[in-house]
Copies of this chain bind each other. A is one copy, B any other.
Amino acid sequence: MNTNAIPPNQIILTGDRPTGPLHLGHFVGSLQNRVVFQNLHTQFLMLADAQAFTDNMGDRDKVRRNVLEVALDYLAVGIDPAKSTIFIQSQLPELTELTFYYLNLVTVARLERNPTVKEEIRLRDFQRDIPAGFLAYPVSQAADITAFRATLVPVGADQAPMIEQSNEIVRKFNANVGQDILVEAAPVIPAMGRLPGIDGKAKMSKSLGNALALSASADEVSKAVKMMYTDPNHLRVDDPGQVEGNVVFTYLDAFEPDIAFVDDLKAKYRRGGLGDMVIKRHLEQRLQALLAPIRERRAEFAGDPAEVMRMLAQGTDKARAVAARTLSDVKGALGLNYF
């Protein structure tokens, strides 16, 4: 489903693995949508620390530290805890209970066929030494989604098979108990595609060193724009330049609302006579204007981490109550309500 075609009053589950600060790629791909969604839908935002453990057991401090950092990023971009329920995954035992029972509804072969898992296994070079928790991760995700009876899950295009896996579990569970206890979810894929890294690589990622963090200083923003990949054959201002694959133009498409202005720049650049410096200067102004208030709000919230943790505790309590209701329905349907 496209973001523009969403009926109102959906239940949305989304979130982030707290393994590093959020960056411009997150902003374009998800955060800016969440700020809109929170006014139209019921939105749960999960800080997926437990999921991050599936491949970060050796670096737990990083995960713990980034729970607060990512929460600060959320608040900084305008996610409002009064409108969005922000919670910490590991503090909801209900999710592990659901995972436990759902594991009986999926075969190992089916999990191994999951395209997202396959790709992630390849990326992480696990080969035969896949941690069992990593293989079980689509099942854990199904637990997260269904616990909130989410109807919409914003995902990148490559994550759509995870939603299909979750819906399979929903259908299997409902058929098994003969009641419609769980709800299927639809993926929602952001209209704006994925933002490339400043080096032009398809994925912006802190570990690739090509990311611009939302918390970047004005100086870091400036440096990042200067380093940005443009057209390597555009050596002199007068040379015709290429717009496709030119990161500066991709970013202008993402951050400059005046489309006619960008189209005009593109035409000039293609003809020759427009230097990289000029377009970079314009992009930098846009990014500085975008990030300055985010940075300011972030600093404000960061000044009182205890208050942020109180907000997370409240969100977690609220989320837990919702998940507990679902779990109670699930266990009731399974006949696991003895007392």
Query: B132–A135 contact, CB under 8 A?
Result: yes
Does A181 touch B at the CB level, under 8 Å?
no
| Residue of B whose beta carbon sits closest to that of A109 | B128
For the complex formed, measure the closest distance between the CB of A39 and the CB atoms of chain B, giving whole angstroms: 28
A133 at the interface (CB under 8 A from B): yes
The 8 Å CB contact of A103, one of B88, B105, B132, is B132
A100 with B140: in contact, given A58-B176, A132-B107, A135-B108 (CB under 8 Å)?
yes
CB atoms of B132 and A111 under 8 A apart: yes
Task: Tell me the minimal C-beta distance from A181 to chain B in angstroms.
Answer: 13
Taking the complex as formed, is A41 at the interface, i.e. its CB lies under 8 A from any CB of chain B? no
Number of copies of this chain that the complex holds: 2
* Chain B positions within 8 Å of A316 at CB level: 339
CA distance A135 to B57 in the complex (A): 21
- Cβ-based interface call for A160 (8 A): no
Name the one of B53, B88, B101, B136 contacting A338, with C-beta atoms under 8 angstroms.
Answer: B88
**18 extra A-B contacts, CB within 8 A, seeds A106-B132, A312-B338:** A54-B103, A64-B338, A67-B338, A90-B331, A91-B338, A93-B93, A93-B97, A96-B96, A100-B140, A103-B131, A103-B132, A103-B133, A107-B130, A108-B130, A108-B135, A109-B130, A309-B339, A313-B339
Q: List 28 A-B contacts (CB under 8 A).
A: A49-B336, A50-B100, A50-B336, A54-B104, A57-B176, A60-B335, A61-B335, A63-B335, A64-B338, A88-B338, A90-B331, A93-B97, A96-B96, A100-B140, A103-B131, A103-B132, A104-B132, A104-B133, A105-B131, A105-B133, A106-B132, A107-B128, A107-B131, A108-B108, A108-B130, A108-B131, A132-B139, A312-B338
**Which residues of A approach B to under 8 Å, CB–CB?**
49-50, 53-54, 57-58, 60-61, 63-64, 67, 88, 90-91, 93-94, 96-97, 99-101, 103-109, 111, 128-136, 139-140, 176, 309, 312-313, 316, 331, 334-336, 338-339
